[in-house]
Amino acid sequence: MTKAEIVAEVANKTGVEKIAVQSVVETMMETIKSSMANGENVYLRGFGSFIIKERAEKTGRNISKNTTIVIPAHKIPAFKPAKTFMTEVKSKIK
């Protein structure tokens, strides 16, 4: 499902114009991104958590040049679904 499809679905279910729904969806996504960029996790009860995971420093290989490189420690965004979210998805998909 794409962002446009989400906007259309929410507009159909709520009766709100697509332009207003799109503005809300865009603002929500920007708020989540800026919060995570500032090092804050975002928790949506019943849906899931947008969290920042830390990756440790590790050694990697460049196969084409046959050299080893050090990949520094870094942080990445991740999503952890809520238990109710997981059980609903598992019960619907077979």
CATH of the domain at 90: 4.10.520.10
60 and 23 fall within a common domain: no
Domain residue limits at 81: 43-94
- Give yes or no: residues 36 and 48 share one domain: no
For the whole model, what pTM was predicted?
0.79
User: pLDDT by residue (tens digit) across 1-30?
Assistant: 999 999 999 999 999 999 999 999 999 999
Give the sheet arrangement for strand 74-81, strand by strand. Answer: 42-44, 48-55, 74-81
Separation of alpha carbons 48 and 69, rounded Å: 35
pLDDT of residue 93: 79
Q: Are residues 57 and 36 in the same domain?
A: no
Q: Are residues 50 and 31 in the same domain?
A: no
Radius of gyration in angstroms for the set of CA atoms belonging to the chain, rounded to a whole number:
19
Quick one: 32 and 58 in the same domain? no
* pLDDT tens column, 66-93: 899 999 999 999 999 999 999 999 998 7
- Please check whether residues 63 and 47 belong to one and the same domain: yes
